[in-house]
Amino acid sequence: MLDFRIGAIYLYPKYVRLISQFRIPLSDHVPATPPRTVKDAKACAHRDKGLVLGIYYNENVKNDAAILTASAEKYNKKVGGKLWEVLKLTPTPKLGEHRIFYDLDPEFAYVAVAGLGSECMSFNPIEQLDENKEAIRIAAGVGAKALRPFNPKTIYVESFGNAEAAAEGAELSVWQFQEYRHSTQRQKFPLSTLQLYDDCDFLGWKIGKMKAEAQNLARYLQEMPANILNPTSFAKIAVDLLCELDINVEVRTQGWAMSREMGGFVAIGKSSVQPPLYVEISYFGADEYTRPVVLIGKGVTFDSGSLDLKHPKDLKYMKGDMAGAACVLATTRAAARLKLPINIRGILPLCELMPNANSPKFGAVVNSANGKTIHVRLPSREGRLLIADSLVYARNYWPKFILDIGTMSKELVDSLDGAACACYTNSEELFCYTESASSQTGDRIWRMPLWKFYEDRVLDCETADVANTGLQKYGDSPNCAAFLKQFVCDSKWVHFDTYNVAYSKGRDFPYLGRGMTGRPTRTIVELLTQLLADKKI
């Protein structure tokens, strides 16, 4: 049994209680309650169901520009045409807009009609996006979110033609992080109240919910305050959530990392009073002879920048610098829940980066597991040191391919903003699958150069074999990828730099509110699914 002690200090149990929202119920048993006598059936009948329907609107059509979806048309006939009558009294909702109507029928107290845009949307190669699926996510998300303030017991959402995309949009939109607000201030809306309406594709709905719940788990971990989510509590959460799905979790200490000559991980871990932990999670969905996929996630639970202290405007987001580790944990859990026939090794180097006497210094030299020495030009570029050691360690498993995720370079905010995360890879085939997966999920990636031009920058170092960044002011993201490439050897490899997509101000995607995003969890799950479908892993 793991003992989560640091000296004589124990984790406070009250800070670990609320992760239970992501745990799988062991049974559907409902505690017995005393029977209640209904004196007036009409007075006790509380209509607390909501319904989300859709409407198409094509601006280029002069007559009949608005068309109800098939489910909305059926509902309109059910209520004797009242839905269409009240819709004509308001401007037709366009994509991302909604209208709410009340008391149209005895079953649903309120009905939200969400705009889907044009009914002719499909895959757009220029946008690298399946615009039809994205419109469905937006409509389902906008509609479900609009009904949330009414505290409905159940919200029924039509499929809009794709139940999986509708489930994703609805689940992502209604989720909120309220764990540390007083019970009287929370908006009570359990996620289990979302149901599929007027469609029999319950499998697609279930898959979409699982993908969205995985992203919500990553959002939950990113939102947790850094004084509560430290490496030790992160490891405990991993044990609590993964072991119930028969996923192996191994927690290793700093001494183990020192014996493996992980100089970068040890150097960063020494900077904090919170002991670093090297967590490895293993999901075995295939036979023992199947080579695994290795997922590596940067797990810096708080990144102060160390002696290269970050600006206060950036520090308020640094509780989410473990976004990569959260994404790997959530992806592995989703693969287990979906019962994907695949073997996954997840590597989570967990630590804090703080300024103290043991922090890595400007110009420090550390050893790596493959024998190369690393010159620390900037101590604030710590994530790449953790990933470098993990890339070398991942070779022990003879992986099909390695995928690492981390918030690496702030400059991506200025270049890509929240549109897409940066992708670097040495495999053309893997990139094609990754691009295809991202176009289906709406969580796009953009390929960045992995050129010798940037490799020369990090190899231009007289003190050691390689530097953790270049001397130039710009190009830090490709410099990081060029640095990591020195530790990949001959494995197929994909690197995601997610700094610019880790946080959203709530304007990029209507179904993602303000706060941490959990991206690109759904894209990675879709990538694994597509590779399995084509028997590439």
Cite the beta strand spans of 323-432 per DSSP E: 343-353, 364-367, 373-376, 402-406, 421-425
Question: Which structure tokens are listed for 7?
Answer: 């000296």
Q: Specify whether the CB–CB gap between 239 and 352 falls below 8 A.
A: no
- CB atoms under 10 Å from CB of 377, counted, come to 20
310 a catalytic residue: yes
Cα 59 to Cα 56, 65, 88, 94, 363, distances in angstroms: 10, 6, 16, 9, 60
φ/ψ of residue 323, rounded to 5: -60, -35
For residue 206, the SS3 value is: helix
Determine which one of 145, 236, 384, 485 is catalytic.
384
Find residue 99's DSSP bridge partners.
113
133 a catalytic residue: no
Torsion of CA 490, 496, 499, 504, to 10 degrees: -170
Burial of 41 (0-12, 13-18, 19+ CB in 10 A): exposed
- Cα 39 to chain centroid distance, Å, stands at 49
Torsion of CA 66, 71, 75, 76, to 10 degrees: 20
d(CA 380, CA 377): 9
d(CA 209, CA 164): 7
Q: In sequence order, which ranges of 182-322 are alpha helices (DSSP H)?
A: 202-223, 231-242, 254-259, 263-269, 312-315
* CA angle in degrees (0–180, nearest 5) for 320-326-329: 175
- Cα 5 to chain centroid distance, Å, stands at 29
Q: Specify whether the CB–CB gap between 424 and 482 falls below 8 A.
A: no
For residue 135, the SS3 value is: helix
Q: Give Cβ neighbours of residue 286 (< 8 Å, ≥ 6 apart).
A: 341, 342, 343
d(CA 40, CA 44): 6
d(CA 390, CA 481): 14
Question: Which structure tokens are listed for 272?
Answer: 């904090």
Q: How far apart are the first and last CA of the chain?
A: 34
Determine which one of 270, 310, 372, 410 is catalytic.
310
d(CA 151, CA 287): 46
Catalytic residues: 310, 384
